[in-house]
Amino acid sequence: MEACGGANYWARVFQGNGHSVKLISPQFVKPFVKTNKNDANDAEAIVEAASRPSMNFVPIKQVEQQDIQSIHRIRTRVVKNRTALINEIRGLCVEYGVVLRPGAASVKSSLCAAIADSDNELTPSSRESMQGLYEELVDIEVRVKNLDSRIRQLCRQNERCQRILKVPGVGELTATAIVAAVPDPKEFRNGRHMSAWLGLVPRQSSSGDKRVLLGISKRGDRYLRTLLIHGARAVLSHYKDKDNDYTRWVGRKKATLSHNKAAVALANKNARIIWSMLATGESFNYGQHATAA
């Protein structure tokens, strides 16, 4: 089947009836569509793409994984709404000569002070509007905290999440997001395959004997890739606290690469380590996994 909306549900239905189901990404089906696009040509293209021996398939998610992923998607949207609301509040206040510092906590405290300050140019009408925006911001903050609490609870209840948390730079958000996105690590041939699936490996533009590696491909799930890279940036700030194979590797990358490149390299390494832990069931070891990755 082509991986599209509702594909995971129908895959589980067909599996329940004894069928073996494989989902194919639409980008791999498109090259096999001949002439015009219609249902018959699409079906033929899916069959043709599935017959390729080197075809990569999309892992089928179970209901529990979709539950976790749904919470992450909702949280992402709520955080975007919070950012948009904060920008709106700061932009409107600037028009009255009231400058608020960026950040949710700073905006809330500064906005309260601005509403209560009778010396600024805020009118009774604008103060009422700002009060409504403040209450809306508080409601969004409560929603984000509730979603974070649900994610923490899910992380505590999942054994695989608890093991992944041992990897430096991996928190509850990253651990639950990876468990939700990777139903079966055996779907990937090795750690590099999973890292490529996340878009953390270089793009190639090679021809003949000339091998050219460019920046990372940025394919796959942008949300997962962002979490891994942000976690890697946190590790780069504290890697000197311990002395082991892992932190020595981080130190070498920090010394030879720019900060952003070192963060991407560490995110790539962490993705491979996570695959190894999920595939083998082992726990994280600063020496063993650093060498294996």
Q: Tokens in use for 142?
A: 């409560």
| Of 185, 221, 217, nearest in space to 203 by CA | 217
Rounded distance, CA 193 to CA 220, Å? 12
End-to-end CA separation in angstroms for the chain:
33
Contacts of residue 58, Cβ cutoff 8 Å, sequence gap at least 6: 3, 7, 23, 24, 25
What pLDDT was estimated at residue 256? 93
pTM: 0.86
SS3 38: coil
Q: Tokens in use for 172?
A: 């509850």
Rounded distance, CA 258 to CA 255, Å? 8
Q: What is the mean pLDDT of each run of 10 residues along the chain (293 residues)?
A: 92 95 92 90 93 89 93 96 95 94 90 91 93 95 96 94 93 95 87 91 86 86 94 87 81 91 94 93 73 48
Rounded distance, CA 124 to CA 118, Å? 10
Biggest CA-to-CA distance, the chain: 74
| Of 226, 228, 201, 225, nearest in space to 213 by CA | 201
Rounded distance, CA 141 to CA 159, Å? 29
Amino acid at site 209: D
What pLDDT was estimated at residue 292? 47
What pLDDT was estimated at residue 288? 54
